[in-house]
Amino acid sequence: MSDVNKVVLAYSGGLDTSVIVRWLQDNYQCEVVTFTADIGQGEEVEPARAKAKALGVKEIYIDDLREEFVRDFVFPMFRANTIYEGEYLLGTSIARPLIAKRLIEIANETGADTISHGATGKGNDQVRFELGAYALKPGIKVIAPWREWDMTSRETLMAYCKTHDIPVDFSSAKKKSPYSMDANLLHISYEGGILENPWAEAEEDMWRWSVSPEAAPDAPTYIELDFARGDITAIDGVAMSPATVLETLNKVGGANGIGRDDIVENRYVGMKSRGCYETPGGTIMLKAHRAIESLTLDREVAHLKDELMPRYANMIYNGYWWSPERKMLQAAIDDSQQVVNGKVRLKLYKGNVIIAGRQSADSLFDESIATFEEDAGAYNQKDAEGFIKLNALRMRIAANKGRSPL
């Protein structure tokens, strides 16, 4: 008799998770609760309800989490100008702590003692889901079927469906994209297929959210973004919710060939992985946020943020969103954003995001001091002589002691 009574499964309604429902029922003789999250993946999530019912599931959760996703996860991450290994805007990584949170909430609501997910034993997502779950409910049990069963391919999954009378559209399953894809409001990712050869160029018809830079309009598109405490609150003067901001920037960015990236990244489990990403809205957000910060942040605060950012990015990539160190660092980041207010004007052109202007009532830019023209005594240039000599003092002393740098 299994010690698992009820399992909450992160359920997409696709081939893998449909197999997992039946596999859990058969192998653990347990009740399965399905949870499907709408975080802006661009596909209908409601059909998952009928699929779950056909598998005998009684408790079915389908939640629209788009606003929460952007407001409470994407926006806080972008306040830190977060980017992993110099390129990856963490589109998949930042969605996982929200899904883990909701899995635990549903487990508490339904009395479930276990959660389950469809992440493989080779990837990062298993770590992210489970670290989040354990942080939020230390005694929760976790079942990761890909670490237990002996099925290793789409063909073996479809054979299991036929053997166990699992309702799956086999024609559509066979026509599925050759890539392993993940999408939400922040990005869409592609792995597998020809991308497993790092020398192979991604096929043009793979990309779904953006035109190629070559095919983008020949005339630039200008947009203006309003910032309040580090978050975008309006586009071209129109106030928008967080999710609507990102949706809008994805459309205008994709139309201008913005946001494509091809990366070989270091997974937390140790292997290198090649993936392609489309993050049009996020690419625009990062450039604009850095522009408004350049005007409003103190120099040392800005530099300290830049030094801490790689640590913060690693926390998110490796699944430590719910850790005390991320929470502590977030408090410091958010405190710095109190003055990050104003407007940024951008020119979008053939894959490029170009700063065309920035302004803020909290600006630290003082034209009377920075000017190359007459400054009416606002800055005494003679002060620089002592400043330079004091900063050179240790090097002068060392050189006088024979410690020449040559």
125 tagged catalytic: yes
Q: At 243, which helix (H) or strand (E)?
A: helix 242-255
Cβ contact 283:89 at 8 Å: yes
Residues in the chain: 406
- Strands in 272-278's sheet, in edge-to-edge order, are 180-183, 188-191, 272-278, 260-266
- Phi/psi at 283 (5° precision): -60, -40
Task: In whole angstroms, give the CA distance from residue 225 to residue 107.
Answer: 40
Query: Which sign, positive or negative, has the C-alpha torsion 320, 325, 328, 333?
Result: negative
Q: Is 66 a catalytic residue?
A: no
**Alpha helix (H) ranges present in 87-241?**
96-110, 125-136, 154-163, 170-174
* Catalytic option among 79, 96, 102, 358: 96
Give counts: helices (H), strands (E), the chain. 14, 14
- C-alpha triplet 147, 118, 69: angle, nearest 5°: 135
User: Measured between alpha carbons, how far is 126 from 319 in angstroms, rounded to an integer?
Assistant: 9
| Catalytic site includes residue 96 | yes
Catalytically annotated residues = 16, 96, 125, 180
